[in-house]
Amino acid sequence: MAAKKQQKQVESLKHKDKRRRERVRQDVAIRDLRAGDVEAIVAIAVAAWEPIYAHRRKVMGDALFERLYSDWRERKAAEVRSACARAAGADVCVAEDAGRVVGFITFTSDDVTQVAEIGNNAVHPAFQGGGIGTAMYRHVFAKLKERGMRYVQVTTGGDPAHAPARRAYEKAGFTIQLPSVTYYREL
């Protein structure tokens, strides 16, 4: 009896979550960056990269992690602020839900090669899984096509912490892959 009740609760939660995701997809607006968006974007980036750096610490161990990534939050924040300042010609779009910035995407385009690149991009963890990332990619793809770009690339990690990003990119139609591995050795 208790198992049936628990199953009903799980199904109810799944249904509520599905409705929330559908609502997010319908209500989200993708727009260009505004000056007041920057710190919200920085907070989203740090929150979204938290599991990635936790995984790195677990795999690398504390000693190597601290040498390479002790200040990762500050560096990620600086990367995002730099893109928002249009460093290296970066463009930034945000996803907004009910007036709240819930995601962002940075990108550049190269008129010579006609290959664009998506840089830092994330959806706030509380809003992930609702199609916001896909909506941002589609929006940026349309902008890039208008600029005459023929291809777009994105780089991500092959570790388990990056699995959600890989799924999002594959869902958005990225299919060509060039695998890479980084090795470390203690001296």
Structure tokens at 68: 């390479």
Q: Note whether 156 and 169 are within 8 A (CB).
A: yes
Q: Note whether 111 and 148 are within 8 A (CB).
A: yes
Look at residue 6 and tell me if it is in a domain.
no
Alpha carbons 66 and 64: distance in angstroms, whole number: 5
What are 123-141's pLDDT values in tens digits? 999 999 999 999 999 999 9
Q: Write phi, then psi, for 117 (nearest 5 degrees).
A: -140, 130
For the domain that residue 128 is a member of, what is the CATH number? 3.40.630.30
Q: What is the pLDDT of residue 122?
A: 97
- Under the banding of pLDDT at 50, 70 and 90, the label for residue 88 is confident
What are 56-70's pLDDT values in tens digits? 999 999 999 999 999
Pairing of strands 115-123, 151-154: parallel
Q: What is the pLDDT of residue 14?
A: 47
Look at residue 20 and tell me if it is in a domain.
no
Alpha carbons 55 and 11: distance in angstroms, whole number: 31
Average pLDDT, the chain: 89
Look at residue 181 and tell me if it is in a domain.
no
Count of domains observed in the chain:
1
What are 45-57's pLDDT values in tens digits? 999 999 999 999 9
What are 3-52's pLDDT values in tens digits? 454 455 445 444 444 544 444 456 899 999 999 999 999 999 999 999 99
Q: What is the pLDDT of residue 24?
A: 46
What are 99-128's pLDDT values in tens digits? 999 999 999 999 999 999 999 999 999 999
Look at residue 66 and tell me if it is in a domain.
yes
In this model, does residue 72 exceed pLDDT 50? yes
% pLDDT > 90, the chain: 79
To which H or E segment does residue 31 belong?
strand 29-32
DSSP one-letter string for 125-168 = GGGTTSSHHHHHHHHHHHHHHHTT--EEEE----SGGGHHHHHH
Look at residue 21 and tell me if it is in a domain.
no
Q: What is the pLDDT of residue 16?
A: 47
Which amino acid, residue 21?
R
Look at residue 88 and tell me if it is in a domain.
yes
All residues at 6 or more sequence positions from 97 whose CB lies less than 8 Å from its CB, including other chains: 24, 27, 28, 29, 127, 132
Q: Counting Cβ atoms within 10 Å, is residue 73 exposed (0-12), middle (13-18) or buried (19+)?
A: middle
Q: Note whether 141 and 154 are within 8 A (CB).
A: no
Domain of residue 118 covers 28-171
Look at residue 135 and tell me if it is in a domain.
yes
